[in-house]
């Protein structure tokens, strides 16, 4: 039985990945230095709480799924060193130890923001991609587009930064309103355009990469369908039946008008079965459970 390490196992994508790998029959170890509401221990053969430097040197893994990292564009602009230290140097440490300890498959969570690396967040991930390609014998670099929704058990954690999560909180009454960061972008309705993918579709691709590494420059993980901020907000209003308040604000530092999958570059690792409506509905139901 293959032994898999998932870094950032308590996180949003990490928790979904741990469950999917365990259900696929792997021996799964997880590590995270933060706690969360996501109770992943039941799906782990070994849970390690703390920094990866403290634990993983004791084990040899057949594959590492490196999901740990900071993800806020806005925060990265304010604290760039923290992002390079964690996202870039942290990836280097994982590669250095695991690849010299017999691991021959490294799966890395990158970002679609690497296509236009304006923010320190995007730059830190792009630099980490270069390290993966230079140091791993077999690898898969997943450039995640906007990940949303949940499996009904696990949730997004920490300070909300994702549009669908924030829209769901607003529809459920957790927030008094939602802000649009800029309405003067060069798009059809003036708001930013992104590709959104359901987390359950994404983790199915991660499971496939455990057996079949890509060894290509990167894999675009999205649906190939693009939505503006206004379209996402209107979809959340439709599925929730709540006409919540929307405030138009100024642009956010580090943002770009559009991040979409280039033509013909949608990854073959992904079979998208879930729609934007599915993402919004699962996120909304999750918030309703939380507010009781």
- pLDDT tens-digit readout, 102-118: 999 999 999 999 998 99
For the chain, what percent of residues have pLDDT higher than 90? 83
Residue tagged active-site, from 43, 70, 83, 121: 121
Q: Which of 222, 201, 226 is nearest to 267 (CA)?
A: 222
Report d(CA 284, CA 286) in Å as an integer: 5
CATH number corresponding to 149-196+223-292? 3.90.25.10
CA 292 to chain centre: 27
Say if CB 251 and CB 119 are below 8 A apart: no
Report d(CA 270, CA 28) in Å as an integer: 22
Mean pLDDT of 114-124: 94
The verdict on whether 121 is a catalytic residue reads: yes
The confidence score (pLDDT) of residue 50 equals 82
| Helix, strand, coil share (%) of the chain residues, nearest 5 | 40, 20, 40
At 247, give phi and psi (nearest 5°): -115, 130
- Say what the pTM is: 0.92
The confidence score (pLDDT) of residue 280 equals 98
pLDDT tens by residue, 142-167: 999 999 999 989 988 777 889 999 99
Q: Which of 48, 59, 272, 242 is nearest to 148 (CA)?
A: 272
């Amino acid at each position: 039985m293959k032994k898999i390490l998932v870094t950032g196992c308590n996180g949003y994508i990490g928790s979904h990945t741990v469950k999917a790998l365990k259900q696929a029959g792997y021996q799964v170890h997880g590590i995270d230095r933060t706690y969360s509401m996501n109770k992943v221990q039941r799906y782990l053969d070994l849970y390690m709480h703390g920094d990866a430097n403290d634990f993983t040197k004791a084990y040899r893994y057949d594959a590492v799924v490196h999901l740990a990292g900071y993800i806020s564009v806005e925060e990265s602009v304010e604290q760039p060193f923290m992002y390079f230290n964690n996202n870039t140097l942290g990836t280097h440490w994982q590669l250095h130890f695991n690849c010299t300890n017999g691991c021959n498959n490294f799966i890395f969570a990158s970002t679609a923001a690497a296509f236009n690396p304006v923010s320190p967040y995007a730059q830190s991930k792009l630099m980490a991609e270069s390290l993966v390609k230079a140091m791993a014998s077999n690898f898969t670099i997943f450039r995640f587009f906007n990940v949303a929704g949940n499996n009904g058990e696990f949730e997004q954690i920490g300070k909300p930064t994702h549009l669908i999560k924030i829209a769901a909180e607003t529809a459920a009454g957790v927030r008094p309103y939602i802000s649009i960061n800029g309405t003067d972008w060069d798009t059809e309705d003036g708001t930013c355009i992104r590709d959104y993918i359901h987390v359950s579709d994404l983790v199915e691709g991660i499971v496939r990469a455990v057996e079949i590494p890509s060894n290509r420059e990167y894999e675009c993980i999205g649906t190939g369908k693009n939505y503006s901020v206004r379209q996402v907000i209107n979809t959340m209003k439709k599925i929730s039946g709540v006409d919540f308040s929307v405030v138009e604000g100024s642009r956010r530092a580090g943002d770009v008008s559009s991040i979409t999958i280039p033509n013909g570059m949608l990854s073959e690792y992904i079979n998208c079965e879930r729609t934007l409506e599915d993402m919004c509905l699962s996120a909304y139901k999750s918030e309703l459970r939380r507010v009781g």
